[in-house]
Every structure is written in C-alpha cells, then in structure tokens.
Copies of this chain bind each other. A is one copy, B any other.
Amino acid sequence: MLITPEPRTAAPPDGAPIVGMIGGGQLARMTAAAAEALGVGFRVLASSVDDPAAQVVRDTWIGSHLDAAVVGAFSAGCAVVTFDHEHVPADCLAAVTATGAQVRPGSAALALAQDKALMRQRLTELGHPCPRWAVLDRAQAREGPSQADSFIAQVGWPIIVKTSRGGYDGRGVWRIEDVDALSALLTQELPDGACWLLEECVPFEQELCAQVARSPSGQAVAYPVVRTRQIDGMCAEVIAPAPQLDESLAMQAQQIALRIAGDLDVVGMLAVELFQAGNQLAVNELAMRPHNSGHWSIEGAVTSQFENHLRAVLDLPLGDPAPRSPVAVMVNIIGTDARDLYSGYRHVLARDPQVKVHLYGKSVRPGRKLGHVTLVGNDPQELLTRAQHAAHYLSGIIDE
C-alpha cells in the first residue's frame, strides 16, 4: 500500500519565491491563506505542531526562534523572511541574512519594534506625538519609586508602566495608581535586556489604529483608520472606519503612520496604535507585522493586510487598501472555561448567515485569543451587536 503522510514539500513552481515567517501563530495562519492565493511559497517556523499555523501550513518547521542555527537552517531557500511576532533576537536576524534571504522589516526597524523604550526615544526625536515618558533602568528600579518622582510630578497619577521588551496582548503593561503600587511593581523581574518604561496616562476619548503597508522601494498605502476597544490590554473590538472620527484627524492619523513607516524604513505592514483626545493624537504602540486591528480587512478591504504584507516584503506592487463596504466590524473570540468553540457553530451560523467566523485552531484557555468574527454592512452599532453575539456565544460568555 503506497500511502505516506509525506514529509517532503514541493518547491513553488517556476520562479515563485518562498516567504518564510518566523512564528506560527494566527497571524502566520492567516498569512498562509493569502500566500496560497498569490501562489508564492510559504514556510513557517513554529514552536510546536499545535501552533495555529503549524496545523495548516505544509512547509512547517518546528524549532526555536531564539536559536540562530535553527533560524539559519529555516531561512535557507527563502527569498524573504518576515515575522509573526517581535521576539526574534539580533543574532538570529543575522543568521537569516547570512543565508542570502532578505529580513523584512529590516533589523534596524525591528530593533525598535522589539524595545518600547528605544521606540519612544526614536519617535520623540523624529517629532511624532507621544505621551510623555521616562525610563527606569534596572539600577534605578532597585533604588525604588523615588527615582520616578520628577516624572510623576510632571504627569501625575495614574501612570502606565511597561516592560520595554517581551510584552504582548496586555502582558507587560500595568496601570499604576500610586507610589505603593509602583514600588511593588519595580521589585518584579524584568525580561532580559529590558528596562521599565513609564508613560503618561492619556485621558483618551477613543483608541485608534492606523495601518499602512510599505514596500522596500518606498511605495506605501494607508488603510482606513479604525477604532479599537481594548479589554485588559487586549484588542477586543474593531470598527472600520472609526465612526464619528473627524476627517482631518483620520488623515492626520494616516499621515503619522505613513511618516513613521518612512522614517523607520519599515517594510511590510505597520500598525500605529493611537490615543485620540479632542483634536490631539498620540502614538501608543507600533507593530511591524499584520495586526489584530486589521483582521477586518480580510472581508472588509479590497486587499487584506495579510496579502499586502506579503506583497510588501516581496517588493511587489501593493494592493488597494480601500474598504469594500461602508463599515466592517471585528470582534475577538476570547476563551472562557465554558466550552469548546465548535459546539457553538450550529447556533451562530444559523442565526446569522452573513457572519464570518475565523477560528485559529487553538485549544480553549480563559483569556486566550481563539478567533474572531467579522461582519460588513452599513450600521456600525447593528453590526457590532451581531458580531458581539456571535463571538460571545462561541466563547461561551452567553448561551442563547
């Protein structure tokens, strides 16, 4: 009987390049679908066969993104290597380059994406609007919270404190109300190479995200600016475009994102998270990859963020980022301990034949991003209500 689960993978045909993505999460999983359509090869470095992308991508390699030898072996044969997360160290980026593959975004841009304190410093130098900020290194942190006195005197309580490296989805970020809380926090262990980043707590009206794609040749396109709602520091909901956002503010947000992409020589997708208060914008965080704020673009835009990320890193002409309907709404499916997700499908799909559900193949764990739901149409509030119902039913927050 001639049957094998065949480990060998075929090369893409006739001149099509292979894009390697380091990290096997949902961003890699959704990028895979875009690569399948474009007909370019797609290789993933995942840490486990259970990772969202590892479950579906043929050319999956299992290994550590922290091991330069692993990353080098993975990169051999790729035209370009790009990233599903920010956590690849510099020696591993050098290992990619040594194989002849392009690292995109480049090492210099990634260094900023990896370190929020460096990023703040660079954005401030470049004149981009930021909340006021200060840094406490390890030695200062050991001295205790008095080291922050002059900063607190300027900005007042509460403040936002972040580890400069290693955080994601609300991890590594705290809202600190007083000196006792700060004192307790500063005794915690920092990730390798990290310092404490203290930021003004901006009394924002809404959080926005401006996404752009930029290619090595400098072509750039801007997606509509979206409103995001975070819960516990994790993206919960996105409305595209941001409702009731003044047009000149929306253009200003797009211009900030385009300028940052140019200033930092970003290649691929760049997400610029912004606080809006009145007619003021301030940059919160950056991500140099496809981003949760842009999942709506799969159904909602002519060209999804995943396709444009691939086109950008391959230095292909970028696709139209224009919206395909007046409004798109995305709601994340966050795990509870209530149930598995598939059991909710029958109810959710029967109730709303227009709902687009994306599940990432993750096992359920409370607080974990397991998938998302998108709806497109005309009325933001109506779409949000429907999308929330679907997402909350699937995760088990509601049961009817």
Contact = CB atoms under 8 A, between A and B. Distances in A.
B49 A6 contact: yes
Contacts of A17: 342
Contacts of A345: 316
Contacts of A362: 13
A5 B43 CA distance: 10
Given A38-B359, A39-B361, A350-B317, A342 B15 contact: yes
Interface in A45-100: 49-50, 54-64, 67, 69-70, 73-74
A104 interface: no
A172 to B, nearest CB: 27
A358 interface: yes
A282 B74 CA distance: 55
Interface in A322-350: 324-325, 340-343, 345-346, 349-350
Nearest to A7: B7
As for how many copies of this chain the complex holds, the number is: 2
A150 interface: no
Contact of A346 (B39, B73, B316, B324): B316
A2 interface: yes
A1 B303 contact: no
Contact of A6 (B8, B60, B346): B60
A131 interface: no
B60 A5 contact: yes
Interface string A297-325: 01000110000000100001111100011
A217 to B, nearest CB: 10
Given A4-B61, A54-B58, A350-B317, A364 B14 contact: yes
A282 B289 CA distance: 52
A2 to B, nearest CB: 6
A10 interface: yes
A55 B56 contact: no
A340 B330 CA distance: 38
A378 interface: no
A349 B14 contact: no
A32 interface: yes
A10 B55 contact: yes
B341 A50 contact: no
A364 B13 contact: yes
A278 interface: no
Nearest to A3: B63
B49 A319 contact: no
Interface in A349-386: 349-350, 353-354, 356-364, 371, 376
For the complex of A and B, 7 pairs with smallest distance between CB atoms:
A39-B359, A14-B340, A3-B63, A317-B350, A7-B7, A317-B349, A320-B353
30 contacts: A1-B69, A2-B67, A3-B62, A3-B69, A4-B63, A5-B61, A6-B7, A6-B54, A8-B49, A10-B49, A10-B50, A10-B361, A13-B363, A15-B342, A15-B343, A16-B342, A17-B342, A30-B36, A36-B56, A37-B298, A37-B357, A39-B361, A40-B342, A56-B57, A58-B58, A58-B60, A221-B353, A316-B346, A320-B353, A324-B325
Given A6-B7, A37-B359, A303-B353, 5 more contacts: A3-B70, A14-B364, A32-B36, A39-B358, A317-B353
